[in-house]
């Protein structure tokens, strides 16, 4: 039997490939999720009832169903209904983006609501429009307060991408499964897979501390 | 300059302004005094529609504020407002606070904007604080910056909502001095205040409000020395 070290060294190329796929999933999904979250968050703080309703419905549906069910629904369910094939990677990105977008929407909503009414009034009394007030006064302040909560959500989403192994995307967790199915070395491989996730997440949280200090709330 | 006709404002069942009518002339300095809950702040906030009115009509410079057709954002550029809690933008420096509205509304270029903003900052005596953030300033300094910010759009009317009420006593004087200078420049000012000394010295006219009505108005001499109404007398007896 090979030594543990040899097993790990042999597995590294495939695991690194999986890590690249995972990083790709994370970056693309989180960018889309931030856009969806911002739009939905703005809708949920809008004066328009219909916009608020749509945002609430979206958040409720996503938060009220398990991510794995959402992944299966988009990958297996939607193609039946639409009569078209959705590639696993695309389905995975859609599912993760929609899922994280709902939680990020709530972060934006809470952040926007945390800015005092006096800030809105001061901006509006100068003649700034509602939109300018949001963009120039409210969001810059709210976003700074939201950084730690965003990072928390990002970390959860990073770990959520491991669920995409269920639809055969060759991301980090799936790579681990593939290796173990041929060499049966669960201890070494799951250990290394775990360490890879740990490294990604620790790097992210250190980076966020740095950003937080840099843009400290005034 | 400003006309107010039968202005009424209700919050739910609570009638805060019952029937307010008055006219404010160009370059007039009007102080609004009265007990808390008398509706004086609400009255001021109805003038630039920070509070929607329940009924009645307000016009400023010939433009009907209360008409749904009026571009209220446009109108507000002509009506500066100073708040009790200053409400400076904490993520921007002092200079950026002042430059914000001219930059995004007038699209004023940076050099002109900075020059004009520095002039305003000089006027309130805080040129050396241009790059400070609001949290680094005292309350009095913050309020002076807030006045400069409100002046940046060249308004013809300035509204002051209890501008010295949140200040430590030793800082009240510096803010009142800036307001006094402004009054002498001939800008139309409406000041909701508890500073009777300021009202007596600077105001052209004093309005006493109580229970959602204007009880009495007149020159400072008329109101403070020859008080006609019992309610005004009772109020002045307590505060003077």
Distance (Å) from the C-alpha of residue B74 to the closest C-alpha of chain A? 6
Other residues' Cβ atoms within 10 Å of the Cβ of residue A182: 8
Please give the mean pLDDT across all residues of chain A: 95
All residues of chain B having their beta carbon less than 8 Å from the beta carbon of residue A126 are 76-77, 80, 100-101, 105, 149-150, 152-153
In chain A, what is the straight-line distance between the N-terminal and C-terminal CA atoms, in Å?
60
pTM to 2 decimal places: 0.88
All residues of chain B having their beta carbon less than 8 Å from the beta carbon of residue A217 are 90-91
Task: Render pLDDT for A138-154 as a digit per residue (tens, 0 to 9).
Answer: 999 999 899 999 999 99
Cβ partners under 8 Å of residue A29, min gap 6: A92, A93, A96, A97, A100, A157, A161
In chain B, what is the straight-line distance between the N-terminal and C-terminal CA atoms, in Å?
31
All residues of chain A having their beta carbon less than 8 Å from the beta carbon of residue B158 are none
ipTM: 0.93
Q: How many residues does chain B have?
A: 240
What span, in angstroms and rounded, lies between the C-alpha atoms of B33 and B192? 6
**Tokens 């809690």, located at residue:** B85
Please give the mean pLDDT across all residues of chain B: 96
Q: How many CA atoms lie within 13 A of B2 on its CB side?
A: 28
What span, in angstroms and rounded, lies between the C-alpha atoms of B26 and B207? 16
- Which run of H or of E encompasses B191? strand B188-192
What does the pLDDT average to over A9-22? Answer: 96
Per-residue confidence (pLDDT) for residue A217, from 0 to 100? 57
Task: Render pLDDT for B58-90 as a digit per residue (tens, 0 to 9).
Answer: 999 999 999 999 999 999 999 999 999 999 999
């Amino acid at each position: 039997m090979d030594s543990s070290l040899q097993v790990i060294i042999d597995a590294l190329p495939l695991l690194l490939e999986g890590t690249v796929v995972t990083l790709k999933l994370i970056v693309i999904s989180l960018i889309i999720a931030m856009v969806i979250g911002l739009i939905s968050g703005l809708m949920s703080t809008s004066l328009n009832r219909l916009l608020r309703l749509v945002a609430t419905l979206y958040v409720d549906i996503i938060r009220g169903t398990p991510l794995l069910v959402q992944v299966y629904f988009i990958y297996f369910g939607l193609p039946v209904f639409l009569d078209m094939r959705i590639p696993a990677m695309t389905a995975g990105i859609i599912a993760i983006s929609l899922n994280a977008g709902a939680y990020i929407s709530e972060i934006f909503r809470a952040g926007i609501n945390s800015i005092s009414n006096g800030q809105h009034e001061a901006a509006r009394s100068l003649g700034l429009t509602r939109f300018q007030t949001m963009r120039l006064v409210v969001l810059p302040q709210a976003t700074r307060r939201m950084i730690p909560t965003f990072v928390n959500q990002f970390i959860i989403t990073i770990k959520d991408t491991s669920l995409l192994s269920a639809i055969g995307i060759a991301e980090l967790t799936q790579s681990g499964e593939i290796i173990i199915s041929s060499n049966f070395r669960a201890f070494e491989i799951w250990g290394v897979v775990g360490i890879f996730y740990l490294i990604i997440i620790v790097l992210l949280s250190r980076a966020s501390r740095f950003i937080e200090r840099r843009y400290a709330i005034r | 300059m400003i006309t107010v006709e039968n202005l009424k404002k209700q919050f739910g069942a609570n009638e805060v302004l019952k029937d307010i009518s008055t006219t404010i002339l160009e370059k007039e300095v009007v102080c609004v005094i009265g007990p808390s809950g008398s509706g004086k702040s609400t009255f001021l906030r109805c003038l630039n529609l920070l509070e929607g009115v329940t009924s009645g009509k307000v016009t400023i410079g010939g433009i009907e504020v209360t008409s749904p057709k009026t571009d209220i954002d446009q109108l507000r550029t002509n009506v500066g407002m100073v708040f009790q809690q200053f409400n400076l933008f904490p993520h921007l420096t002092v200079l950026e606070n002042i430059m914000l509205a001219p930059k995004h509304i007038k699209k004023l270029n940076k050099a002109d904007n900075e020059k004009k903003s520095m002039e305003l900052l000089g006027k309130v005596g805080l040129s050396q604080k241009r790059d400070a953030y609001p949290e680094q300033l005292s309350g009095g300094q913050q309020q002076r910056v807030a006045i400069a910010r409100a002046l940046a759009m060249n308004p013809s009317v300035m509204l002051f909502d209890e501008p010295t009420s949140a200040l430590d006593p030793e800082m009240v004087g510096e803010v009142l001095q800036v307001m006094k200078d402004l009054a002498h420049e001939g800008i139309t000012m409406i000041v909701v205040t508890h500073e009777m000394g300021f009202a007596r010295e600077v105001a052209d006219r004093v309005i006493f409000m109580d229970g959602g009505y204007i009880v009495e108005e007149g020159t400072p001499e008329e109101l403070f020395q020859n008080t006609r109404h019992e309610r005004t007398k009772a109020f002045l007896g307590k505060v003077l």
